[in-house]
Amino acid sequence: MTAPPPLWQAHTAPSYDSTMTTRCTALLAEIGADPKRRQAIFSDPRDLHRELFASFAPPNHGEYAGAYRGTAGTSLANRRISADSQMEPGNQYEFCLPGEVPARMDQLLQQTRELIGDESTDDFGKLIALTYTFCWFGKIHPFLDGNGHVQRAIFAAMATEFGYPLSARFAIHPRPYDRLLASALEIFTRAPIGGENGELGLVAEYLAFFLDGPFNAPRKHVGTVSPYA
């Protein structure tokens, strides 16, 4: 009987934190300075995932770094993943099924490029665009592990393309948030099919705190209705 492929939690590797701090500090600086680096991330985040996590992949499973769940012919073809619920302790909720991941990622990346190219959008619309990509990437959860780092790198690249400075509160590593944003993301992920975008405002309210520029000031509200609903 064939043994199942191993589980993978990259953060358990020796020197993980120090290695990722170095890599992600350099990455964030490159995102801010290099338009080609940003475009490469929007084009195919699998390359970035491989760059960050290949050294932590288990022996004989190099596909864990840089391949999507649902990739045919790999051990990731049927890998389902779940997360512990913040709202229902002791329970879990599931991300997108593996068979949906490659097509959903192609669609999301195309939408992201279109959102970045829309010059008619105001600051609120751009915040919602950032939130849209952030939330859908999280719901899809394309990689077996390390999704949050790539998610935050895409956020940083989008914000920079929009001309928004990142707050000193933001980092790709370590994760700069915990249960509050995790709860909002869970609400989005578990929303009824077709109702997800109605929850973008809740996440946007939190993500705005990672941006300076027009968001570094008191505001009445972020908004409760999404233009993408």
pLDDT for 16-52, tens place per residue? 999 999 999 999 999 999 999 999 999 999 999 999 9
What is the full DSSP assignment across the chain?
-PPPPPP--GGGSTTHHHHHHHHHHHHHHHHHH-HHHHHHHHH-HHHHHHHHHGGGSPTT-GGGTT--TT-TTSTTTT---EEE-SSSTT-EEE---GGGHHHHHHHHHHHHHHHHH-TT--HHHHHHHHHHHHHHHHHH--SSS-HHHHHHHHHHHHHHHHTPPBPTT--SSS-S--HHHHHHHHHHHHSPTT-GGGGHHHHHHHHGGGB-GGGSS--S---SS-TT-
Q: List CB contacts of 15: < 8 A, sequence separation 6 or more.
A: none
Backbone angles phi, psi at 68, to 5 degrees: -75, 150
Look up the pTM and report it. Answer: 0.95
Place of tokens 């719901």: 139
Instruction: Report the percent of the chain where pLDDT is more than 70.
Output: 95
Structure tokens at 175: 């994760």
Q: pLDDT at position 227, please? A: 47
Tell me the residue type at 124.
F
Q: pLDDT at position 3, please? A: 80
Model pLDDT for residues 127-181, shown as the tens digit of each residue? 999 999 999 999 999 999 999 999 999 999 999 999 999 999 999 999 999 999 9
Model pLDDT for residues 109-133, shown as the tens digit of each residue? 999 999 999 999 999 999 999 999 9
Q: Decide if pLDDT at 222 tops 90.
A: no
Q: What distance in Å separates the CA atoms of residue 153 and residue 147, rounded to the nearest whole number?
A: 10
Which of 65-74, 85-94, 104-113, 209-218 has the weakest average pLDDT? 209-218
**Structural domains of the chain, ranges and CATH numbers in brackets:** 14-58+81-215 (1.10.3290.10)
Q: Decide if pLDDT at 73 tops 90.
A: yes
Q: pLDDT at position 219, please? A: 66
